[in-house]
Structure 1
Amino acid sequence: MPPVLSKNAKIALVAATIVATAPLQKEQRKKRREWAKFYYRNRENYSHMRLLKELDDEDFRTYLRMTPESFDEILNLLKRYIAKTDTVMRQAVTAEERLVATLKYLASGREYNDLKLSTCISPQLLSEIIPETCEAIIRVLKDYLKVPETENDWLQIAKDFEIKWQFNHCLGAIDGKHVIIEKPPKSGTLYYNYKGTFSIVLLGIVNANYEFIYVNIGSNGSISDGGVFKHTTFHEKMKSNQLNLPSPSILPHSNVIAPYCFVADNAFAINENLLKPYPRRNLTHDQRIFNYRLSRARRIVENAFGILAERFRVLKRPIQINVHNVPKVVMASCTLHNYLRKKSSNYITRNCVDTEDTETCTFRPGDWRLNDNLVGLNRTERQRTADGNSVRQIFTEYFNNQGRVHFQERMINTMNI
C-alpha cells in the first residue's frame, strides 16, 4: 500500500512536476506561435524567382508560356492593381511574384499545395492571389478580347474567313467545351454533365485567326448544351439586331444575296444567322460539299480551344478551387491567349493546328488532338427554323456553283465526308 502523503508533501510534488515540465510546455508554445514555415519567411532564397532570372528565353517560355518581353509588358500594366504594401510584421508578396505564381498556375494547373513549394507562398495566400491577379489580367488586357462594335469590324472578320478558309459571309466560328471542376460542396447534381463529370461550360466565338471575339463562361454543366448559347447576352443581341451585323449582300461572282452568318456544329440550333452542317445520313453530293466547306471554317474554333488548353494546362485537369473563381481563371487564360496570339509570332506553330494541303488532298490533325482533354458539347440540338434551312440551302447551291473551289471534290472523298 503506497504511503499517505501529507498536505505539504502533495504541494511540493505538484510544484516539482510543474518545474520539470515547464521547458517542454514553453517549447510547445513556441512551436504553436511560429506564424510561417521557414521557406515562406525566406521566400527570396527558396522560391523559383531566383531561377527565373537565370533562364534563357526558350526555358522562360516553357515555364510561363510567354517571352520575357511579354511578361514585362503585362507586369507593368498590372502593377498598380496587384501591388501590396509591406507592414511592420512582414514583407508583402511583390507584384512580380504574384504574376509569376498566377502564370505558373495557369500554365501547369498544379494544386496550391504543390505550387507552394516552388513559389514559397502558402496555399491560403495563393487562393487569394491567383483569382485577384486573374481579375487584373482580364481588366488590363480587355481590349484584346472584345466583341466587334461596328459593321466594318465584322466585315473585316468576314473578309479574313473568305481569304483564309474560303467561306464567304462568315462572321465567326462558335463552339463550347466543358471545363471539368471538382464537385463543389453541397451542389448536388447542379454541375453534373452528360459525361458523368462536374463542369462549367466555356462558350467561345473565334475569328479566322484563332482569336476569341466573345467568351461566355460559367453556365453549370447540367444545363442542356444546345441551350447554353441561347441564354447568352450575345444571342439576345443577335436576335434583336443589336450587334451591328452587316446587312445581307451579294456573294462574290454571283447575283445571290445572302446574310452574314456564324458557323457551328450540331450542338447548336440553325437560324438565319447561324449555320450548322447537314446531319450525316443520306447526304446528297451537294450537301457533302456544304458540310466540307463549313467544316473548314468551323475547325478554327476547335483549334483555338485545343491551343488554349495546350498552353494553359489548368484546363486539362479538374480545377480544384472555389467554383466562383473558376470563370476568372478561364477568362484570364482566354485573354492571355489572344494577347500572345497578337504579340508572339511563334505562339502558334504549323503543327499546333489542323493543316490541309489542297494540292495533294491530305489532312494533318493538329498535335493538340492527340491529347484533347476538353469535353465537347453534346450534339443533340434538333431545333431549326425555316429561315435557317433556306439560308443553308443558299450557301449549298452557291458552294456547288459560282462559289466552288477546285479542291472540294477531291477533299470530300479523301476525308470521307
Structure 2
Amino acid sequence: MDDDIIGAYAMLLLLKKKRNLQKKRKRLWSRQWLQRRREENVAFRLLRELEVEDPATLRQWMRLDRQQYLDLLRLVTPLIEKQDTNMRQAVTAEERLTLTLRYLATGESYRSLSCQFRISHNLISSIIPTVCKAIYKVLQSSFVHLPTTTEEWQKVAGRGESTETRIFNYRLSRARRTTENAFGILTARFQVFKQPIRTTPENVQDITLAAVALHNYLTEKSKDTYIPQGFTDREDIENGRLHQGQMHQHAHAAIEDLHPVGRGHTNEAKQVRELLKGYFNNEGQVHWQAQMAQLH
C-alpha cells in the first residue's frame, strides 16, 4: 500500500515537471521574436529608411527632425544607456529615446509599442519614465513657464461695468486664451495626453515635464513647422476680431470648458484682482486694449 502511494506521488511529480517544462518551452518559443530586436525593430529599419527617403514623415513620426534627434540623443545618452551583459544585449540609448518619443507623440499603448520595437511591455514601462526624466533634465534650460491666471476667467458683465474692469476682464481672457493656445499646441503635437496616462503620479509628472520641455525646444528650434502660420488663435487689432487657429480642428487641442463653481472669492483673490486691474490700466497698459475691450 505504501509502495503504491509512493509510486503515485512520484508519477504526479514527473507529470508536473513535464508540464512545467512544456510551458517553459512554449513561453521561450513565443518570445523568439523579441530576440530579433536589433535586426528588425523600427529604430533600426524604418527610421533609417525615412531619414533617407522621407524626412518630413520622420519628423511627423517622432516630432523631431534627424538633426534635432541626434542632438537630443547625444545629450541623454549618458543618462539612459545600459551595458550589455553575458546574458543579453541591452536596449540601446537610441532605441530607448526613439521608443519614448514615439510614445509621447502618439500615446500608443505599451503592448503596441512592444510589437513595434520588439521590447517587452514590462521593460517599456520602466524605460519611458526614465527617458522622460532625462529629456527634461537636459532640456530644462529651455523650459518656459506657461502663462497662468490668478483667478477664474470671467465674462464681461453688463453695461454698467466700468472701463477699468472691462479692460481687466479683456486682459484676463486674453491671458487665458494664450494659455489655451500653449496647451492646445502641446496636446495636438504630443497626443500622449489624449487619454488618461495609466501610471504612477510620479511617472505622470516626468512624462508631462518631458513633453513640455520638448514643446519649448521645438517652439524655439523649428517654429515654422511645429507651429505653422494660422495654427494658433490670432487677434486682429485693427478690426477688433479674433480668428480661431487651426489647432481647434485637432481633437483634445483645447482646454475643455469648466462648469462654474458656486463659491465666492477669497479676500486674497480680490486683492490680486484689484492689483492687476490697476496695473493693466496704468503702467501695464497697451495702446490697443481699450478698443479691444469694448468689442469683447
| Normalised TM-score (structure 1) | 0.58
Structure 1 segment 393-408 matched on structure 2, within 5 A: 393-395=277-279, 397-398=281-282, 403=285, 405-406=287-288, 408=290
Query: Displacement of 1:279 after TM fit?
Result: 6.5
> What is the letter of the counterpart of residue 83 of structure 2?
T
CA displacement 1:275-316 (0-9 Å, x = unmatched): x76764553344223322333344222211111111111112
Report the structure, 1 or 2, having the larger strand content: 1
Which SS does the other structure have where 2:49 is aligned?
A: coil
Q: 1:310 to 1:26 in 2, by over 3 A?
A: closer
CA distance in 2, matches of 1:30, 1:388: 66
CA distance in 2, matches of 1:33, 1:396: 67
- Residue matched to 2:272: 388
Q: 1:340 to 1:85 in 2, by over 3 A?
A: same
Q: What is the Cα-based RMSD across aligned positions, in Å?
A: 3.6
> What is the letter of the counterpart of residue 81 of structure 1?
L
CA displacement 1:91-139 (0-9 Å, x = unmatched): 1111000000001111111111111111111110001111111111121
- Residue matched to 2:146: 205
- Residue matched to 1:132: 130
CA displacement 1:332-355 (0-9 Å, x = unmatched): 111111111121132212222111
Contact 2:156 2:169 in 1 (8 A): no
Which SS does the other structure have where 1:356 is aligned?
A: strand
Pick from 39, 55, 58: which aligns with 2:56?
Answer: 58
CA distance in 2, matches of 1:37, 1:63: 27
Structure 1 segment 33-44 matched on structure 2, within 5 A: 34=28, 37-44=31-38
> What is the letter of the counterpart of residue 284 of structure 1?
S
Which SS does the other structure have where 1:205 is aligned?
A: coil
| Deviating more after overlay: 95-104 vs 283-292 | 283-292
- Residue matched to 2:96: 98
Structure 1 segment 102-251 matched on structure 2, within 5 A: 102-145=100-143, 205-206=146-147
Report the structure, 1 or 2, having the larger helix content: 2
Which SS does the other structure have where 2:84 is aligned?
A: coil
Contact 2:167 2:289 in 1 (8 A): no
CA distance in 1, matches of 2:63, 2:37: 23
| Deviating more after overlay: 68-77 vs 42-51 | 42-51
- Residue matched to 1:360: 239
- How many residue pairs were aligned? 281
> What is the letter of the counterpart of residue 63 of structure 2?
R
Gaps of 5+ in 1: 1-9, 147-203, 207-262, 268-275
Residues 1:266 and 2:151 aligned together: yes
Pick from 304, 316, 321: which aligns with 2:199?
Answer: 321
CA displacement 1:142-179 (0-9 Å, x = unmatched): 21126xxxxxxxxxxxxxxxxxxxxxxxxxxxxxxxxx
CA distance in 2, matches of 1:392, 1:407: 14
Pick from 220, 229, 238: which aligns with 1:350?
Answer: 229
Q: 1:413 to 1:389 in 2, by over 3 A?
A: closer
Contact 2:75 2:138 in 1 (8 A): yes
CA distance in 1, matches of 2:20, 2:195: 45
CA distance in 2, matches of 1:321, 1:45: 30
Q: What percent of counterpart residues are identical?
A: 34
| Deviating more after overlay: 51-60 vs 367-376 | 367-376
Query: Displacement of 1:391 after TM fit?
Result: 2.2
CA displacement 1:225-280 (0-9 Å, x = unmatched): xxxxxxxxxxxxxxxxxxxxxxxxxxxxxxxxxxxxxx61633xxxxxxxx76764
CA distance in 2, matches of 1:384, 1:353: 35
Which SS does the other structure have where 2:146 is aligned?
A: strand
- Residue matched to 1:46: 40
CA distance in 2, matches of 1:398, 1:278: 22
Gaps of 5+ in 2: none
Contact 1:47 1:118 in 2 (8 A): yes
CA displacement 1:190-230 (0-9 Å, x = unmatched): xxxxxxxxxxxxxx533xxxxxxxxxxxxxxxxxxxxxxxx
Query: Displacement of 1:408 after TM fit?
Result: 4.1
Query: Displacement of 1:384 after TM fit?
Result: 3.4
Contact 2:164 2:277 in 1 (8 A): no
- Residue matched to 1:158: none
Contact 1:138 1:335 in 2 (8 A): yes
Which SS does the other structure have where 1:363 is aligned?
A: strand
Contact 2:146 2:179 in 1 (8 A): yes
CA distance in 1, matches of 2:154, 2:282: 15
Contact 1:354 1:366 in 2 (8 A): yes
Contact 2:150 2:272 in 1 (8 A): no
